Structure 1
Amino acid sequence: MPPGLEGLGVEFRFCDAGGLGEAVRGARGLMLWDFFSTAVRDVWAEAGSVEWIHVTAAGVDTLLFDELRDSDVVVTNAHGVFDRPIAEYVLGAVIAHAKDSRRSLELQRRHEWQHRETCSILGATALIVGTGAIGRETARLLSAAGLQVRGAGRVARPDDPDFGEVVASSNLSAEVGWADHVVLAAPLTDATRGLVDAEVLAAMRPGSHLINVARGPIVDEIALLNALPDGRIAATLDVFDREPLPPDHPLWDAPNVTITAHMSGDVIGWRDTLAAQFATNVRRWLAGESLLNVVDKKLGYVPTGAR
């Protein structure tokens, strides 16, 4: 029994992807733990009784397909759970880049003492692509650390409370030259797939730093691999086209790249937080109350201002 749901008279079934077709028959709700799974699409013909699907992630790009979008099934996500941890990861990546931590580790491994000067993050610039909850928490934390921030989103606007200015992400190549750090925190949609392409990478300023905590396919990985060898830009990547990243993938050995295993939001206790969030929504659902964190299935995310 999931914690916090005892005594509600609900039957819970547990299964892996292979058993979902049988388990979903007659079920009214579905909690999807593996947010990269396509199992729901595969068993959609068996899921006619399902009214609500909850995904334990902020991104719902793998779940959504045309039949689900066009249905009356409500989709909710883990909006809010990962905002602060991911913002802290981004701040850590910014500091590590400014303090040349990759070089320090290389020198340490060679037992080589090399004094050098590094950069301050005070006054550095960060363009945050994605103006949802994760992007906003990141903007607030980077601002508190002394960086100047801007956002990039679907609609350009001045005087945003968290970003100051929001520029149009559709014109990203004209905007990235302003930034020391380009942070990707947008959902994966048709509009953002391949958004950071060769043109955008070429427009980044020399010495700048790309941070991807969103989804791998937002970046054209081939274009990134071609852009890295000349040393103009560096990258911190937590997400990739294929995960786990294959051992023979050239990004492992690419220059000026820091790789982590899709862990930017996973701090100690995150599973308990997800369970508590799900339990809250189950109780609301059983009581006939509106659910929290309802995804706009056409947009592919929880709209700004919605819970």
Structure 2
Amino acid sequence: MANTPTIVVLHDGTPPAEMARIAEHANLRYATGEQLPHQIPGADALFVWAFRSEAITTAWPAADKLTWIHSASAGVDRLIFDELRDSAVTLTNSRGVFDQPMAEYVLATVLTFAKDLHTTLRLQDRRTWQHRVTERIEGKTALVIGTGPIGRAIASQLTAAGLHVTGAGRRPRTDDPDFGDVHTTDHLTDIIGEFDYVVLAAPRTPQTEGLINADVLAACRPTARLINVGRGELVVQDDLVEALRAEHLAGAALDVFESEPLPHTSPLWDMPNVLISPHMSGDTTGWTDELVDLFLTNLRAYVRNEELVNIVDKQRGYVSTPV
């Protein structure tokens, strides 16, 4: 490996200022999606800062020297395509940066529902004094779907707040250090009715896409709330709307959607029991510096021909873990 690799930073229109720290260690090129096919020839690595972009698919034939792609997000479903999957190019992600912030977001939404804070804010806007009785979260049950680092951070946060947390993932097991019992996602309709909160923290894969459908939602407790910080495609959005209308579900907190931004015409906007945030659950003060720190750790390893961290299993679509 050359001591000074050439790295293309794919951005969405404004190159991030944090890249200045990377320029000390690499020859940097900047590219929007349209510019990428012209900038990627001769590049050793690609840093995908515009993580919603799918430009790499179009630029792929011009990537004549590429050996490493790094994503500034934990999810890489928009980056993986057949040619990349079958190639020798290493793909890494930003796993670890977003775990705790997303867990705090989930806890915040649980508390918002339990203490009816969303109604309080609406009443305050109308200067309306309306006393209400709220809920406790201690002793409530939560099912976290997705047992990777983000799911585990969520489990830890909710457990500390007094909830009883169970996991759901690829395979069932007992005595998990963070979840205790882990159920398989193949049988959600059999178990989902046991929980007050259902939290989605799984990556988007062929196995998880459309996981929460009409049948699963109908099996939920009518008092349950759904929280999605994973991917919008995990939920069949039309089925969710119908479940909320039919009161098969008491509410939903949604940070991700099938289509982003969420269209103005979506009925979700007008539902008083729905919390909507614009894909920001993991974005906290200083997060961009943390992303660059992680990339620099991998860049140093890359230059030394050492193993990179957060290598994605391109067949599965996420970083494999031993649990």
Task: Please give the TM-score of this superposition, normalised by the length of structure 1.
Answer: 0.96
Name the structure 2 match of 1:247. 264
SS of residue in 1 equivalent to 2:263: coil
Show the 5 A alignment for 1:249-264.
249-264=266-281
**CA shift for structure 1 position 109:** 2.3
- AA partner of residue 124 (structure 2): Q
Aligned match of 2:3 = none
**RMSD over equivalenced CA pairs, Å:** 1.3
Relative to 1, partners in 2 of residues 1:166 and 1:97: Cα closer, same or farther, differing over 3 Å?
Answer: same
Aligned to 1:12, the other structure's residue is in SS state strand
Partner of 2:128: 112
288, 310, 317: which one aligns with 1:271:
288
Candidates 77, 82, 100, aligned match of 2:98: 82
Q: Distance in 2 between matches of 1:44 and 1:109?
A: 51
Instruction: In structure 1, give the amino acid aligned to 2:118.
Output: R
1:107 deviates by: 1.9
Shift, 1:2, TM fit = 2.8
In the alignment, the residues of structure 1 paired with residue 37 and residue 128 of structure 2 have an alpha-carbon distance, to the nearest angstrom, of 58
Equivalences for 1:126-141 in 2 at 5 Å?
A: 126-141=142-157
Of residues 41, 57, 62, the one that matches 1:46 is 62
Contact 2:217 2:248 in 1 (8 A): no
1:77-105 CA-to-partner distances (Å, cap 9, x unmatched) read 00000000000000000000111112212
User: Within 2, Cα distance between the matches of 1:90 and 1:104?
Assistant: 19
113-122 or 293-302, which deviates more: 113-122
- 2:319 is aligned, of 279, 284, 302, to 302
Identify the match of residue 71 of structure 1 among 65, 74, 87: 87
Match of 1:200 among 206, 213, 216: 216
* Helix, strand or coil at the partner of 1:303: coil
**1:173 equivalent among 172, 177, 189:** 189
Which has the larger displacement, 257-266 or 96-105? 96-105
How many Å separate the matches in 1 of 2:64 and 2:140?
A: 52
C-alpha distance in 2 between matches for 1:92 and 1:141? 10
Query: How do 1:154-169 residues align onto structure 2 when only pairs under 5 Å count?
Result: 154-169=170-185
- Is 105-114 or 190-199 further displaced after alignment? 105-114
Runs of at least 5 residues in structure 1 that lack an aligned partner in the other structure: none
- CA-CA distance at 1:250 after TM superposition: 1.8
CA distance in 2, matches of 1:87, 1:138: 4
Are residues 1:123 and 2:127 paired? Answer: no
Q: Deviations over 1:140-176 (max 9, x none)?
A: 1110111000000000001100001000111111121
Amino acid at match of 1:218: L
d(CA) in 2 for partners of 1:49, 1:124? 53
Change (3 A) 1:232 1:255: farther
Counting aligned pairs with the same residue, the percent is 50
**What CA distance in whole angstroms lies between the structure 1 residues aligned with 2:38 and 2:127?**
58
**SS of aligned partner of 1:43:** helix
Provide, for residues 182-214 of structure 1, a one-character-per-residue CA deviation record: whole Å limited to 9, x for no partner. 000000000000000000111110111000000
Note the 1:214-253 alignment, pairs <5 A.
214-233=230-249, 234-253=251-270
Q: Aligned AA for 1:62?
A: R
Q: Give yes or no for contact 1:215–1:239 (8 Å, CA) kept in 2.
A: yes
Mind listing any 5+ residue stretches in structure 2 that lack a counterpart?
1-17
- Give SS of 1:34's match: coil
Paired residue type of 2:63: A
CA change 1:299–1:206 in 2 (3 A) is same
C-alpha deviations, 1:52-100, integer Å up to 9, x for none? 0000000000000111001000000000000000000000000001111
Paired positions, count? 305
Q: What secondary structure sits across from 2:28 in the alignment?
A: coil
